[in-house]
């Protein structure tokens, strides 16, 4: 038993912290206010290998473990959660499935630039009519000659604008639902890839989320990731890892909010006392900090399960469920501790309040996580 | 980073689990239902196997367990009987441990082997008017030659009726607030020590909780625990350790309630399908499970930190707060999943629900835990350990702009 990071995990976390402190924190609030894409921060993170934390070294990754990945996403998200999700998606939903299911050629051509952060990856699964029920896709890929023609529209694609590579899930045999899905690697400059306007959002305002249309995109067979009809297992593996990332992002959001509130409570005085000496304030801070630690340990536990090669689907769902709830509560507590000042953009906590909510929604809503978790209990 | 138990700890968990489920579980409902059903046979068995000496160093006849091993045992005992678990936990953490940690060599040599052999230990700090607010104790200890004379009234003494050895706290300096408190090791049967009322409780019914009256109770100075005025420090140290033990009790009960709920949901049908196939039930089960798992991780973290010799005050408070709230939540939902069956004594979940309710109260209420946690967080923020960012709020608007 050891609750400390290994020297290797700690060394990487220290590198991430330095980048976050120097290249993310000073501009995070401005990026959010301007809904600006944080390209320089992404470049700094790419330099230390944070875009391919657990991708193999021989394919341009940092070759570390899932715990290191979670530590990085948590740290980044404590300053700029929108950056946290872009990095998480690139690691878990793009580099991860290529490393896991790709051919040697695909790893060379697609994984290496993504893991190095030269090409940003995006994951295109959700459609207007297929959210939690992800098997009823209307995006189709039909065989033509040696290759495929991909056609359909994907919505709410994270990093959809800057992405240079899309992992696209399409139905090759629609009647078979989940058994008829296939995954494709689609370069952003392929003919027929059309990006819509950026979505305006409640939070994660500097993230780039948009609709992407694939208009009869012709792809050679070398763009198919894994076997035809086996796409669901690619999706599940990717989302399991992604849920660890979203859990870490949520934990970072919670910490970012509570750290700010704690500092505020040591400075602000009312009724002749520091805020932190006032009973109701202590109660809410103690409660929120405990929920957050409980959730963060669940995230790290799920990461360790993945690193040991165990089945970790329920662990990932639990981690995301717990951490997203804790993040929403922590951000709410932080705003409450600031009082009216918390409602002002200048104090920096309302941003976390807005950002927190999405962690209960994407990569599987909390309701979906509970179904997965309950299923692991009752079908055992 | 690796949150798993060691091989030795896993073996201990397995052995304790088998013992608890095979030998104690069949009696747990009876212990709960019958008045004065003190589980003497179980205590004897536990003593025989060494469990009554978990907190006693090996050189004094105990097992000298680390904190993680200790909570593994408490969780397994609590899974079958929270009353048995609290008996063993109080005996070990606030009975034996303070003597092992703060006692003189003579005290350790004479008292610890007896405790390890199964003579029961207890801890007496609370008074009718002083619970969480320890500094306002009113029991007094007056020095008189080679001994002290204790007077006062104590209550909420777990194991108080069956204990052979009690750690009793009283003020040697009545005006000294917290700094005037001193601990004493008192033998049962000493003239002036009288067991009063037996509390009739909602849960933990086979664990005895009594009040004590101290009337010119004479304790030799050689049985003073630590120095004069050190009592608060000893009591708080014991309670820090005790909090991890309460977390373990809570996790054990919560796991039992979850297991009962899952088992029921897998066999009971409603509206043509199993309960486990109903979304409303799935929602409850998932929320129960995630709390149990996180509670156990928080508990392991606190115990591990303690074993590393590091500060664990905040983490112990977090473990106790989260685990005890989890037990409240999970036992409540376990009854809900059972419906009407959950409300009758034929099923174990109503006992779990009653037993769980005290966890948020004893060894520091949830309100005290949140206070402890917040103070630790604010202390770190004051020390500059928390990064300060947007300083956009007037720090002081207290009439002085």
Q: What is the CATH number of the domain that holds B221?
A: 2.40.110.10
Do B286 and A370 count as a contact with CB atoms less than 8 A apart? Answer: yes
Q: How confident is the model at residue B239 (pLDDT cuts 50, 70, 90)?
A: confident
Tokens of B368: 């005290």
Q: Which of the following is catalytic: B76, B228, B363, B382?
A: B363
Do A318 and B287 count as a contact with CB atoms less than 8 A apart? Answer: no
Of B179, B207, B227, the domain-final residue? B227
Question: Which CATH class for the A122-229 domain?
Answer: mainly beta
- Residue B401: pLDDT above 60? no
| Residues B43, B87 share a domain | yes
Instruction: Give the pLDDT score at B131.
Output: 76
Residue B302 forms part of a structural domain: yes
Instruction: Give the pLDDT score at B398.
Output: 45
- Residue B400: pLDDT above 50? no
**In chain A, where are the structural domains located?**
7-120, 122-229, 233-378
Residue B400 forms part of a structural domain: no
Do B1 and A373 count as a contact with CB atoms less than 8 A apart? Answer: no
Residue B94 forms part of a structural domain: yes
| Residues B115, B34 share a domain | yes
E strand intervals along B18-114: none
Q: Is A363 an annotated catalytic residue?
A: yes
Longest dimension (CA), chain B: 79
DSSP assignment of A288-317, as one string? Answer: HHHHHHHHHHHHHHHHHHHHTT---HHHHH
Tokens of B339: 């419906």
Answer for the pair B249, B211: CB distance below 8 angstroms, yes or no: no
Give the other-Cβ count within 10 Å of A347's Cβ: 24
Residues 367-386 of B with CB under 8 A from A: 367, 369-375, 377-378, 380-382, 386
E strand intervals along B16-174: 121-124, 140-144, 147-158, 165-171
**Mean pLDDT of the B53-77 span:** 97
CA nearest B248: which of B92, B39, B48?
Answer: B92
CATH number at residue B34: 1.10.540.10
Domain residues for the domain of B68 are 7-120
Do B321 and A266 count as a contact with CB atoms less than 8 A apart? Answer: no
* pLDDT tens digits along B269-321: 999 999 999 999 999 999 999 999 999 999 999 999 999 999 999 999 999 99
* Topology of the domain covering A7-120: Butyryl-Coa Dehydrogenase, subunit A; domain 1 (1.10.540)
- Residue B397: pLDDT above 60? no
| Residues B133, B108 share a domain | no
| Residues B147, B15 share a domain | no
Residues 237-266 of B with CB under 8 A from A: 258, 262, 265-266
Instruction: Give the pLDDT score at B393.
Output: 60
CATH number at residue B239: 1.20.140.10
Residue B314 forms part of a structural domain: yes
Answer for the pair A52, A62: CB distance below 8 angstroms, yes or no: yes
Task: Tell me how close the Cα of B166 comes to any Cα of chain A, in angstroms.
Answer: 33
Q: Interior CA angle at A228 toward A225 and A234, to 5°?
A: 50
Give the helix ranges, DSSP H, for B142-278. Answer: 231-267
Do B1 and A9 count as a contact with CB atoms less than 8 A apart? Answer: yes
Answer for the pair B293, B320: CB distance below 8 angstroms, yes or no: no
Q: Which of A265, A301, A370 sits opposite B297 (nearest CB)?
A: A301
Q: How confident is the model at residue B183 (pLDDT cuts 50, 70, 90)?
A: very high
pLDDT < 50 positions in chain A: none
* Topology of the domain covering A233-378: Butyryl-CoA Dehydrogenase, subunit A; domain 3 (1.20.140)
Task: Tell me how close the Cα of B303 comes to any Cα of chain A, in angstroms.
Answer: 11
Interface test with A, best of B250, B310, B313, B378 (most A CBs within 10 A): B378
Q: Interior CA angle at B62 toward B58 and B67, to 5°?
A: 90
Tokens of B195: 């067991």
């Amino acid at each position: 038993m050891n609750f400390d990071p290994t020297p290797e995990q700690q060394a990487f976390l220290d590198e991430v912290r330095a980048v976050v402190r120097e290249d993310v924190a000073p501009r995070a609030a401005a990026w959010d206010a301007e809904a600006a894409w944080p390209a320089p921060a992404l470049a700094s993170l790419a330099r230390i290998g944070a875009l391919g934390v657990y991708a193999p070294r021989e394919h341009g990754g940092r070759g570390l473990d899932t715990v290191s990945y979670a530590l990085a996403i948590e740290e980044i998200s404590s300053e700029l959660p929108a950056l946290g999700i872009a990095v998480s998606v690139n690691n878990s939903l793009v580099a991860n499935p290529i490393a896991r299911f790709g051919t040697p050629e695909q790893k060379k051509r697609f994984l290496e630039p993504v893991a190095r952060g030269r090409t940003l990856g995006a994951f295109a699964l959700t459609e207007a009519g297929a959210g939690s029920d992800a098997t009823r896709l209307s995006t189709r890929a039909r065989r033509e000659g040696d290759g495929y023609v991909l056609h359909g529209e994907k919505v709410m694609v994270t990093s959809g604008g800057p992405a240079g590579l899309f992992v696209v899930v399409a139905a090759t045999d629609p009647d078979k639902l989940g058994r008829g899905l296939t995954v494709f690697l689609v370069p952003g400059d392929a003919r027929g890839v059309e990006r819509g306007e950026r979505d305006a959002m409640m939070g994660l305002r500097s993230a780039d989320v948009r609709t992407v249309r694939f208009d009869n995109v012709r792809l050679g067979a070398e763009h198919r990731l894994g076997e035809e009809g086996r796409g669901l297992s690619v999706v599940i593996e990717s989302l399991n890892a992604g849920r660890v990332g979203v859990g870490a992002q949520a934990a970072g959001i919670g910490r970012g909010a509570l750290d700010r509130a704690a500092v505020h409570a040591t400075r602000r005085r009312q009724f002749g006392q520091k805020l932190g000496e006032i009973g109701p304030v202590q109660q809410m801070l103690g409660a929120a900090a405990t929920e957050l630690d409980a959730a963060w340990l669940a995230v790290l536990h799920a990461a360790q399960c993945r690193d040991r090669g165990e089945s970790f689907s329920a662990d990932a769902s639990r981690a995301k469920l717990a951490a997203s709830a804790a993040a929403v509560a922590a951000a709410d507590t932080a705003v409450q501790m600031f009082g009216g000042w918390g409602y002002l953009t200048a104090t920096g906590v309302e941003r976390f309040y807005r950002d927190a909510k999405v962690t209960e929604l994407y990569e599987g809503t909390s309701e979906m996580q509970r179904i997965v978790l309950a299923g692991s209990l009752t079908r055992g | 980073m690796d949150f798993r138990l060691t091989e030795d700890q896993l073996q201990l968990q397995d052995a304790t689990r088998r013992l608890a489920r095979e030998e104690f579980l069949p009696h747990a409902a009876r212990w709960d239902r019958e008045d004065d059903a003190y589980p003497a046979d179980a205590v004897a068995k536990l003593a025989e196997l060494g469990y009554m000496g978990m907190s006693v160093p090996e050189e004094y006849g105990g097992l000298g367990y680390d904190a993680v091993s200790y909570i593994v045992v408490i969780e397994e005992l609590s899974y079958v009987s929270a009353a048995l678990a609290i008996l063993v936990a109080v005996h070990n953490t606030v009975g034996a441990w303070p003597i092992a940690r703060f006692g003189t060599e003579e005290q350790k040599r004479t008292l610890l082997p007896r405790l390890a052999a199964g003579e029961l230990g207890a801890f007496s700090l609370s008074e009718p008017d002083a619970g969480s607010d320890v500094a306002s104790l009113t029991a007094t200890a007056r020095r008189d030659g080679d001994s002290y004379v204790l007077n006062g009234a104590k209550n909420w003494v777990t194991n108080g009726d069956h204990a052979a050895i009690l750690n009793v706290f009283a003020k040697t300096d009545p005006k000294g607030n917290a700094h005037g408190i001193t601990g004493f090791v008192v033998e049962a049967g000493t003239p002036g020590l009288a067991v009063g009322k037996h509390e009739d409780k909602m849960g933990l019914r086979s664990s005895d909780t009594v009040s004590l009256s101290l009337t010119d109770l004479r304790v030799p100075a050689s049985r003073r625990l630590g120095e004069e005025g050190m009592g608060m420090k000893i009591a708080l140290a014991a309670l820090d350790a005790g909090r991890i033990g309460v977390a373990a009790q809570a996790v054990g009960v919560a796991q039992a309630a979850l297991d009962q709920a899952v088992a029921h949901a897998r066999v009971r049908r409603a509206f043509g399908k199993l309960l486990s196939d109903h979304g409303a039930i799935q929602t409850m089960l998932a929320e129960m499970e995630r709390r149990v798992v996180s509670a156990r991780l928080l508990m392991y973290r606190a115990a591990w930190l303690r074993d590393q010799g590091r500060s664990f005050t905040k983490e112990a408070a977090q473990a106790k707060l989260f685990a005890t709230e989890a037990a409240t939540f999970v036992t409540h939902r376990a009854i809900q999943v059972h419906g009407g069956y959950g409300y009758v004594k034929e099923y174990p979940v109503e006992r779990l629900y009653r037993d769980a309710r005290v966890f948020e109260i004893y060894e520091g209420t949830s309100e005290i835990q949140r206070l402890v946690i917040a103070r630790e967080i604010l202390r770190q923020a004051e020390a500059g350990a928390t990064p300060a960012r947007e300083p956009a709020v007037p720090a002081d608007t207290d009439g002085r702009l």
